[in-house]
Amino acid sequence: MPALIVAYALAAALLSTLWPLLVYSTSLALFGLGHVLFELRYVDARFGSRLPRSFWWQCAVPLALIVALRVLRLLDVINNDVAVGGEMGLVTVLVGLALPLAWSQARVVGVVGVGAAALLGLGSLQSPLLVLLTLAVVHNATPLGFVVERAPAGRRLRALGWGSLLFFGVPALVASGLPSLLLADAVDLDKTLLPSTGPLVDHYPVYLWPRLRDDVIAAQLFSAAVCAQLLHYAAVIFWLPRTLEAEERPTLPWPRSGWFVVVVVALSLGLLVHFRVDFKGARTLYGLVAAVHAWIELPVLVAGFALLRRR
């Protein structure tokens, strides 16, 4: 297994360096929706029955408001600044909802949670777009949090170290520019299989701060984010489900494993057609469900780490 992980990580670094637009667009179109559903199912199975029902209902309110903001932005009822500012404010609220439980179960986790909520709140007031882009990049390392949360007490630091090397070290190597320098003659930034994607620069806003989009290193930074995206997809779809124990079952009425895969494949193929015809429109539609899975994990991880002492 370690050899397979290393091989995949190196392949992800290579492909994202050579063809960042191709890898970004096709991986999103093929696996974006699927990874969201796999991740939500994992969160439900791992934490659904361990966290109070009231916690989930409280989280549902800001999540619903976030989706509503995105729909209003899609309909041009509100502008982008209002939508992003409101969403980041609601993400701060989500983290805050985990603080009472964290404080009561593990004071250290509670203190860290308070610091994270404060940082999110201040950042959202000063530059909500910067906070959104930072979280979009860091979200790709979410599986690392689940790795450490699942690890036995004596192995958590080791899991954190090796996981950080994978989820941060490999993308950092791509961002350094060394792979693109070595492969300069083979790099094709705008290569794509989906006719509606447009050039690579049109997708910089997904991951890059506006001041960086005209920088000479913009392409390699975007490539690094795409590499992290590939690592995230593989971890969520192929690794996380295999870590669940027999007694860890979803609380929501998800289809059974075999049918779940069939449903995910069917929905993903349907969205793939949309991506091929209208990539920007499909990405916006995908963003409605992606927001739910990305933001629910923040309070869940805070609460989950707080419960480690109880375990």
Listed in sequence order, the residues at least 6 apart from 185 whose beta carbon sits closer than 8 Å to its beta carbon are none
Query: Taking a C-beta distance cutoff of 8 angstroms, is the pair 306, 109 a contact?
Result: yes
pLDDT in tens, 87-128: 999 999 999 999 999 888 888 888 988 999 999 999 999 999
Task: Name the amino acid, one letter, at 37.
Answer: L
pLDDT in tens, 220-271: 999 999 999 999 999 999 999 999 988 899 999 999 888 999 999 999 999 9
Mean pLDDT of 271-283: 94
Percent of the chain with pLDDT over 70: 99
Q: How many CB atoms lie within 10 A of CB 128?
A: 21
CA separation for the pair 87, 70 (Å, rounded): 8
Compute CA distances 194 → 5, 154, 234, 266, whole Å: 28, 47, 22, 19
Query: Taking a C-beta distance cutoff of 8 angstroms, is the pair 33, 27 a contact?
Result: no
pLDDT in tens, 43-76: 999 999 999 999 999 999 999 999 999 999 999 9
Report the chain's mean pLDDT, rounded to a whole number.
Answer: 93
Residue 246 lies in a domain: yes
Domain total of the chain: 1
Q: How far is CA 236 from the centre of its chain?
A: 10
Residue 148 lies in a domain: yes
| Residue whose tokens read 């502008």 | 79
Residue 185 lies in a domain: yes
Query: Taking a C-beta distance cutoff of 8 angstroms, is the pair 16, 23 a contact?
Result: yes
User: Hey, what are 181's tokens?
Assistant: 């320098």
What's the pLDDT score for residue 310? 54
Compute CA distances 152 → 78, 158, 302, whole Å: 47, 10, 18
pLDDT in tens, 1-28: 788 999 999 999 999 999 999 999 999 9
User: Hey, what are 268's tokens?
Assistant: 């993903």
Residue 311 lies in a domain: no
**Which domain range does residue 247 map to?**
2-306
In this prediction the pTM is 0.94
What's the pLDDT score for residue 152? 87
